[in-house]
Amino acid sequence: MSIDLEGLLRPVDNPAPAFPPKIITLANGEKMVIRQVTRDEIPFLLPHVKALLDVERDYYDIVAARVYAELLAYYRHRVQDEYVLIAQVDGELAAIVNGRSLSPRVGVSYHTLSLKRGARVGAHAFAAKMEYHIDILKHDEVLIVAESPIGFRRWMIEYKLEKRFDIAHELGGVPSYALTRELFERVRSSLIVGSRPVPEELLKKAMAGILPPKDPPKGPADLLAATRAMGDPTGTGLRAMRQKLEKLEGGK
Amino acid sequence: MRDVYVLGIGITSFSRLEYPIVEIAAYSSVVALKDAGLNRVDHVFVANMGAARVNHQTALASALVDHLNLMPCGAETIENGPASGASAIKTGWMAVASGLHDTVMVTGVERMREVNNLEATDFVASLTHPYAEQIYGVTLPAMAGMFARLYMETYGVTSRHLAMVAIKNHDNAMLNRFAHLHEKISMEGILDSNDAMTNNPFVADPLRFYDLCPVSDGGATLILGTAEMAKKIGKPLIRLAGVGQATDTHCVHERANPTDLLAVRGAAGKAMEMAGVKPGEISVAELHDAFTILEIAESEEVGFFKKGEGHIALEEGYTELGGKLPINTSGGLKAKGHPVGATGVGQAHEIVTQLRGDAGERQVKNASKGLTVNFGGFGNNVVSLVFVRE
Q: What is the mean pLDDT of each run of 10 residues along chain A (252 residues)?
A: 85 96 97 97 97 89 96 97 98 98 98 94 97 98 93 93 96 96 96 96 96 88 46 51 57 43
One domain, residues B182 and B277: no
One domain, residues B274 and B375: yes
One domain, residues B241 and B345: yes
A189 dihedral zone (left: phi>0; alpha: psi -120 to 50; beta): alpha
Helix (H, G, I), strand (E, B) or coil at A172: coil
One domain, residues B190 and B112: no
One domain, residues B45 and B148: no
Q: Does the pLDDT value for residue B118 go beyond 90?
A: no
Domain final position from B179, B211, B243? B211
CA-CA distance, A59 to A17, in Å (whole number)? 32
One domain, residues B113 and B233: yes
Q: Does the pLDDT value for residue B211 go beyond 60?
A: yes
HSE, side-chain direction, 13 A CA sphere, residue B235: 21
Q: Does the pLDDT value for residue B319 go beyond 90?
A: yes
Which of B86, B18, B105 is CA-nearest to residue B350? B86
Which pLDDT value is given to residue B312? 98
Q: Which of B27, B37, B183 lies nearest to residue A252, judging by beta carbons?
A: B37
* CATH code (residue B20): 3.40.47.10
Chain B residue whose CA is closest to A122: B199
Which pLDDT value is given to residue A3? 80
CA-CA distance, B338 to B215, in Å (whole number)? 6
CB-CB under 8 Å, A224 with B19 = yes
Q: Identify the burial level of B134 via C-beta atoms within 10 angstroms of its C-beta, where 0-12 means exposed, 13-18 middle and 19 or more buried.
A: middle
When the pLDDT of each residue in chain B is averaged and rounded to a whole number, the result is: 96
Chain A residue whose CA is closest to B232: A252
- Residue-wise pLDDT for B245-293, tens only, equals 999 999 999 999 999 999 999 999 999 999 999 999 999 999 999 999 9
CA-CA distance, B207 to B148, in Å (whole number)? 7
Which pLDDT value is given to residue A240? 57
One domain, residues B111 and B256: yes
**What domain count does chain B have?**
2
Q: Which residues of A touch B15 (CB under 8 A)?
A: 221
- Exposure string for A220-232, b = 16+ CB within 10 A, e = fewer: bbebbbebeeeeb
CB-CB under 8 Å, B18 with A249 = no
Amino acid (1-letter code) at residue A17: P
Packing angle of the helix pair A60-75, A42-50 (nearest 10 deg): 160
Q: What is the DSSP-derived secondary structure letter of residue A196?
A: S
Q: What is the DSSP-derived secondary structure letter of residue B49?
A: S
Amino acid (1-letter code) at residue B314: L
Q: Which domain holds residue B299?
A: 1-139+213-390
Which pLDDT value is given to residue A227? 46
Beta bridge pairs of residue B177: none
Chain A residue whose CA is closest to B184: A28
What angle is formed at CA B376 by the lines to CA B372 and CA B382, rounded to 5 degrees?
A: 50
When the pLDDT of each residue in chain A is averaged and rounded to a whole number, the result is: 89
Residue contacts between A and B (CB atoms, under 8 Å): 114
Helix (H, G, I), strand (E, B) or coil at B285: strand
CB-CB under 8 Å, B13 with A221 = yes
Comparing A187 with B39, the larger pLDDT belongs to A187
Domain final position from B184, B211, B238? B211
CA-CA distance, A64 to A148, in Å (whole number)? 12
Distances B175 to B290, B336, B362 between C-alpha atoms, Å? 19, 10, 6
One domain, residues B115 and B178: no
Which pLDDT value is given to residue A234? 46
Q: Which of A149, A238, A249 lies nearest to residue B26, judging by beta carbons?
A: A238
- Residue-wise pLDDT for B346-390, tens only, equals 999 999 999 999 999 999 999 999 999 999 999 999 999 999 999
Q: Is the dihedral of CA B328, B330, B336, B342 positive or negative?
A: negative
CB-CB under 8 Å, A119 with B26 = no
One domain, residues B376 and B289: yes
One domain, residues B293 and B268: yes
One domain, residues B304 and B363: yes
CA-CA distance, B33 to B187, in Å (whole number)? 42
Amino acid (1-letter code) at residue B141: P
Domain final position from B180, B195, B211? B211
CB-CB under 8 Å, B12 with A224 = yes
Q: Which residues of B touch A252 (CB under 8 A)?
A: 37-39
DSSP E strand stretches across chain A: 22-25, 31-36, 82-89, 92-101, 106-114, 141-144, 162-168, 175-180
One domain, residues B52 and B94: yes
Q: Does the pLDDT value for residue B195 go beyond 60?
A: yes
Q: Region B170-177: what's the mean pLDDT?
A: 96
